[in-house]
A and B are shown apart, each in its own frame.
Chain A
Amino acid sequence: MLGALTILLVFQLAGEAISLGLSLPVPGPVIGFILLLAALLFRGGVPDELRTTATGMLQHFSLMFVPAGVGVMVHLSRLRDEWLPITVALVLSTLLTIACTALVMNWLMRRFSRKDAA
């Protein structure tokens, strides 16, 4: 577990260094994610220890959003003043986004797999 955690932190650190060094707008962890994927491809598989640790961490991914979520208390007054536009925009936009993304992807998947079969 310690080894796997170190691997993850090393890749995150490399991502942060690249992001800062090249002043990219993409955050370090996302670059670290791409680097780790490239490393796994190069190696041709996932080490067991890394798989166990990653799976364990991602099972509790929700928990990691709680501290930032509690930050809602700092903005309660603005949210109270503009609750209607904010609530309607967030709810409708999120529903629309899920529906549009799913429909477009589903349609393209069917279209292109049919082409493959033909």
Chain B
Amino acid sequence: MTPRLSDIWVYLSTTPLLGLTVTLLVYQGAFWIYKRANFNPLLNPVPISVAVLVLLLTVTHTPYQTYFDGAQFVHFLLGPATVALAVPLYPQLGKLRRAVIPVIGALIAGGIVAAGSAVGIAWLLGASDTTLLSIAPKSVTAPIAMGISEKIGGLPSLTAVLVMVTGVIGVISAKYILNFLKITDHAVRGFSIGVAAHGMGIARAFQVSEEAGAFAGVAMALTALASSILFPLLLWAFTR
């Protein structure tokens, strides 16, 4: 007797294979569209893939956890890929060394604006305290942002989502803002998108040039270092 289609689905939907395969298929489809559209930032493959996958999971009543059991193999690669950022940075070290003062100045300005304006605007518009604390580290790379959120009393999983949405907004808008401000230096373009939009910004910057990608990588690493030290200090100063 051949198994019924629904039985096959019941089996496959519980194995990690399905979540992983679907993630790769959907992403490659989205990337194909992105490529065909000449890398138009409005068609960035990440938000499109996320939307399609959320829709698929909702329609098939698949819980996120079941999906993630498979997709975690892709998620896991974030770690070694972050380490790998040292490789494209290496040939840019000379330029980075000459730009130490601009880099530190931009990091301080960008960091203060990123956290301050997000909390300030959300507070003005009446967001709940949990949301305010979860939104503060939204420009920091996800693992650190989640850690900070937990330390200061936000919801780490909500922070992860806000970090992702921030990344999407950053990669869609960066080109237009930077062109409008007539910023032509790829080091500056890459660095600013790295400060605002963490790893997703890096991914976008690498599509432009190695130099932009390398500086976006430096920006993410420095933002991560600075905020993992400064956020707990700020909280300590405020709650004393």
Contacts and interface: CB of A to CB of B under 8 A. Distances in A.
Interface of A: 5, 8-9, 11-12, 15, 24-30, 32-34, 36-37, 40-41, 45-46, 50-51, 53-55, 57-59, 61-75, 78-79, 82, 84-86, 88-106, 108-109, 112
A117 to B, nearest CB: 12
30 contacts: A12-B82, A25-B147, A26-B229, A29-B78, A37-B86, A40-B87, A54-B88, A58-B81, A62-B200, A63-B49, A65-B199, A67-B68, A67-B74, A68-B75, A69-B46, A70-B67, A74-B161, A82-B128, A82-B131, A86-B135, A89-B117, A89-B135, A97-B117, A98-B174, A98-B192, A99-B181, A101-B195, A108-B101, A109-B102, A109-B187
B3 to A, nearest CB: 29
Interface string B76-99: 011111111111111101000001
Contacts, number: 317
B interface bracket (residues with beta carbon within 8 Å of A): 35 or more
Given A8-B83, A62-B45, A102-B178, A85 B121 contact: yes
Interface of B: 23-24, 26-27, 31, 44-47, 49-50, 53-54, 57-58, 64, 67-68, 71-72, 74-75, 77-91, 93, 99, 101-103, 105-107, 109-110, 113-114, 117-119, 121-122, 124-128, 131, 135, 138-139, 141-144, 147-148, 151, 157-158, 160-162, 164-170, 173-174, 177-178, 181, 183, 185, 187-189, 191-193, 195-197, 199-200, 202-204, 206, 213, 217, 219, 221, 224-225, 228-229, 232
